[in-house]
Amino acid sequence: MLHYKFFEFGCQRESFLECLLHLFHEGLFSEMISVV
């Protein structure tokens, strides 16, 4: 799942930290949407 997300965001192009931030925000928003 995590690896899929990494490829989904194209982390090989972005910086690692930025990629983690994207994953973090995406995860938060998805969970919030799921709860709501």
Please enumerate in sequence order all residues whose Cβ is within 8 A of that of 11, keeping only pairs 6 or more positions apart, or say none: 19
Tokens representing 33? 């949407």
Kindly report the pTM of this predicted structure.
0.38
Q: Name the residue range of residue 30's domain.
A: 2-35
Q: How many domains does the chain divide into? A: 1
CA distance 30 to 16: 21
Q: What does the pLDDT look like over 1-36, one tens digit per residue?
A: 454 555 555 555 557 777 777 777 777 767 766 766
* Residue in this structure with the two tokens 């690896």, named with its chain if needed: 3
